[in-house]
A and B are shown apart, each in its own frame.
Chain A
């Protein structure tokens, strides 16, 4: 009996493996092997054009002792993640609440709000953003039309505002967390709210006592995804500001790219990447660890 099940299970498994074979091949070829290679390169001096030379921990020593830009880019990236991600999540939740109301054409609105995120990471949007916030961009044009004098400042080339324009862009791309929040909101039974209204809870109370606690699993998911995404920010920095001015928008990934593809120092770039992996892993672990104290699961099953 047992054996039979085992056999059948084996066949079942075989079929299953066969079906995910394309993915497995893809994973091994495009994720696993490059990852092992990355790990190896991080201990070498490798310029992409000749054979890697083993140099042990030199890359990591250089990172922490002599490389100012490494710390600059870390600072920029952390600042960006810690400001842009919370803002984006708050904004996404706000819009999701609006779209959860019973109004006409709500489907149209949902689509419209989601569009910026679909095209979010793309080069075209980055170029557009650069145009909007440039010296003669639409933003200055609008300010000029309202106040009479267009400001003589290029928002993306001014050291004090450059990173904020990118943070604004991140907030504007709230679509994917919004959709997930919306799904979460739809899952909250109407009866809870009705009961609360009967007990005399106002809108704020209902939000804090019902909506937020029941949304916490969704918030956790969004937070983890967004943190990972935030550290991988690259396109905006490369296209809109090229890391400038004064390295105020030198994202970590942009710095990795520069070391690898502009200075042909792929070994060092690999070491930087390994360190980024460590950062993201630690942060994600912290979020998960903390989740037991603030994430509320409805059914303990």
Chain B
């Protein structure tokens, strides 16, 4: 009998525990969690100490380098310890969602303010605005350019993330192929898409396969293409900020070039999962597009000299942008916000730390750090640094952050991209559907 009672008790306990676990009621108020901060206080100074949970995405290389920097910081700041978590990019935001839902957000997390996936977190009030920490000097931004910093602004104008490096779009070409057909390399990028088209026809003969890799991936190229004509991909209110003509031109290029075999067909380009697998690397194309941070990896994989030029087409000085590769942000529920802020400041400003990191998250954002790294850069990284200097003179301001619901719109655009490229729908019909559905999605999220 007694046993039964105790069993009941245990069951009841289990229920309560489970229920408590399930109802992850995160009110969106920035309320402090009731976790006591682990003040070590052994240093005697008002050092913010304690354990910081840091989470990021990346490859093994990045995990190793970042872990070294965390150790370095712990050594220099006794009392601060780290619990790092890291993984590849696939599923990263889903994991962050679960951490948020279970009220278990890490103190510092790698993030991309402005990306639709990330904005959901800002909209829900889960991300700490950093303006106060910047004003008080806890996060030192004296060396960081205004425009770089502005990439971390949410739609309310507050800063939600400190950039960890900068990137720009780039066209990567194979100089040897150009030499073979006797083409001059347009150092400043192609004047127009048509000029590129003419060259690709000749380059195709050299490679024996394609002229270029897929140049029109919608997630990569459409934002750039839209900026060339003073339009944007995402927009408040309507969901999309480009007209039918732009969409039609973009896909007409793509369909015709793919038909002529200048760029791979959809199924072939879909099988390229990362830049190191591109047709350019395999010698089956002479041109590809990507981000500057990918360039060293592509050169290494290709095993032959390559070259960076500006993106093609008219108005590229407006359309190019120097964008933060990713941010570090602090969660609203962190018990150690000040320690977290100090750590982020160290991460972007400290020369020793950045020598270890070796521009792994894109080019360092302060000129001081960049200069100190110049000696240790391999030639490709030097090229990237030079290229970024050119782009920073030759670029426009960043796009406004995407509205709520942009994740769904982006998914829809990828769906339609496939339908167009597999000839399941006409460009006109796709645009009509996109316009209608995007407006609905935005309206739904406004409620």
Contacts and interface: CB of A to CB of B under 8 A. Distances in A.
A binds B: yes
Interface in A221-246: 244-246
B193 interface: no
Contact of A25 (B10, B19, B411, B424): B10
B271 A134 contact: yes
Contact of B14 (A17, A25, A135, A247): A25
A278 interface: no
A154 B271 contact: yes
A51 B22 contact: no
Interface string A49-66: 111000000000000000
Contacts of B142: none
A14 B3 CA distance: 8
B97 to A, nearest CB: 6
A48 interface: yes
Contacts of A24: 11
Contact of A29 (B14, B27, B28): B14
Nearest to A48: B101
Interface residues of B, number: 40
A154 B419 contact: no
Interface stretch (A141-149, A156-164, A204-212, A281-289): A156-164
Nearest to A21: B7
A33 B97 contact: no
B17 interface: yes
A152 interface: yes
A39 B26 CA distance: 20
Interface in B15-39: 15, 17-19, 22, 24-28
Contacts of A246: 415, 418-419, 422, 424
B222 to A, nearest CB: 18
Interface string B209-235: 000000000000000000000000000
Most buried by A among B4, B10, B268: B268
Contact of B4 (A14, A25, A134): A14
B273 to A, nearest CB: 9
Contacts of B121: 49
Contact of B97 (A49, A152, A156, A159): A49
A261 to B, nearest CB: 4
* Top 8 A-B residue pairs of the complex, sorted by shortest distance between their CB atoms: A157-B267, A157-B270, A135-B271, A29-B18, A48-B101, A154-B271, A261-B94, A49-B124
Interface of B: 3-4, 7, 10-11, 14-15, 17-19, 22, 24-28, 93-94, 97-98, 100-101, 117, 120-121, 124, 126, 266-268, 270-271, 407-408, 411, 415, 418-419, 422, 424
Given A17-B7, A49-B97, A158-B267, 19 more contacts: A24-B11, A25-B10, A28-B18, A29-B14, A33-B15, A33-B22, A48-B97, A48-B100, A49-B26, A49-B120, A50-B27, A154-B267, A157-B268, A157-B270, A247-B415, A261-B94, A262-B117, A263-B408, A263-B411
